Chain A
Amino acid sequence: MTLKVRTEHLSAWYGAKRGIEDISLDFEEHAVTAIIGPSGCGKSTLIRCMNRLHEVIPKARSEGKVLLDGEDIYALSAVSVRRRIGMVFQKANPFPTMSVYDNVSAGLRLNGVRDRKRLDETVLRSLKHAALWDEVRDSLDAPGVSLSGGQQQRLCIARALAVEPEVLLMDEPCSALDPIATAKIEDLIFDLKKEYTVVVVTHNMQQAARVADYTAFLYLGKLIEVNRTRELFERPAQDLTEKYITGRFG
C-alpha cells in the first residue's frame, strides 16, 4: 500500500469552538476511506481541512499538518492544493448560470483554458467517468440546474474530475438522494478508486460498509478508531465504536 494523504495532529477551530482535535490519520492511495460518526463530530471539518476550504470560513483556523505525497499542503498555495484535491459537496451545487457543458469545463475554463478541443475531450471524459454521459449527451447546453438531484450530484462529480485531481473528497454525497441515485453514486465511488484516492464522509454506516476499504470513526472531534472496514464493523476495538455501529447511540 502507498500512503497518499496523512494528517498529523490536525486540530481545527471555528472561532473559539473546536471542530476537530488532534487527528492523525493515513489515507491509502487507490482506496476508499470512509469517515463515519454522529452529526457534529467533525467529519466535514476534517475533510475541509484537507483541501484548505476550512480556512475560507470567517474566523476559522487550523493547526497541525496535512501531508499530500509527504508535502505539507499548508506550505503550498491553497489554489494549487485544491486543484490536486477535489471536493464534492453534500448538496449538489452546480453553477446556476452555467449549462451542463460549462459546469463540467468550469475548472479549466475559469483557469484560462480556451482550447475547444481539449475542453470537449475533458467534458466527454469527465461525464463518462461520472456515469452521466448517456443521460446528458443531447442536452449539454441545458442549464446544469435543470437536471434531477442525482444527476446534478454526478454533474458535480464530473466537474471535480475534470480538473484531474489526485484525491477526491466527498462530503456526504448521497445524503440528499433517493436510493436509486445513491446506488449509482456508490457504484461510481467504487470505480473511481482505480484512479483516485477517495475519502467519503457519511453518516450512513451501510454505505461505509458497502464502498469503503477503510473506515475511520470520529466522535466529538476526536478520532476514536480506524481500521479496514470489515474489521471495524465486525471486531471494533473500542467500546464507543461498537456502541455506535450497533446503533446504541448517535
Chain B
Amino acid sequence: MTSPPSLGSLARLQMARDLRLALRRGGEWLQPLLFFLVITTLFPLTFDPQLSRLRDVAPAALWVSALLSSLLALELLFRDDAQDGTLEQMAVSGAPLAWLLLAKTAVHWLLTGVPLVLVAPVVAGALGAPYATIPALLAPLVLGSITLSLIGAIGAALTLGLRRGGVLLGLLTLPLTVPVMIFGARASALAIAGQPFVGPMYLLGAVAALALALAPIAVAAAVRINVE
C-alpha cells in the first residue's frame, strides 16, 4: 500500500483540475462578472445620476449586485461533477471529502469573487465613491465574497438533486447571507464616508471564519446524501 496523498497535494490536484476545466470551457466564469457590471450600471440609470445622491446607494448597489452575481454561478458549482459521477469517485476515494469540496469552493471564489473584487474599484468610482476611499472599500468585499461563496456552496450542494434547483437555491441561500450583507454594506458605507470601519470588519471576519469552519462539513454531508 502506498501512503495516501497529503492534504496539500489533494488541494493542489483539485484546484488545478477545476481551473483547467474552467479555462477549457471558455467564458463561462465571465458571466457573473458581466452580470455584476450590468446591474451596477443600472443604478445610475434608474436612480438619480447626481453623484452626491448615488454615493449614498453605492454600498447597497455594490453588495446586492455582488450577492446576485455570486448566486448566478453557484448552480454550476457541483452540478457537472454530480452528473458525470466525479462526486461519487471523490466520495469513495477515501480522501477527506470536505477538504476536496473546500478546494472546489476556493476555485469558485477565485473565478467569481476575485474578478468581482478587481472590478469593484471601477464600479465604486462610477457610483461616486471618492477615489481615495477605494482601497478601503475593497477589504470588506474580499472577506464578504469569500463568505458568500462558502454559504452558497451549502445551498448548491443541498439543491443538487433537484432538476430546477435555481430558484430554491436562491431562497435557501439569500437568508443565510443577511449578516454578510448587513456588516459588509455598513463597512463599505463607513469606508466611503472616510470613517473608521474596523467594527463591521471584525464582525465580517467572524462570519467568514464561522463559514470557513462549518460550511465544508455541511457541504460534504449534503453531497454524501446526494450520491446515495
Q: A and B from one assembly?
A: no
B: residues with CB less than 8 A from A are: none
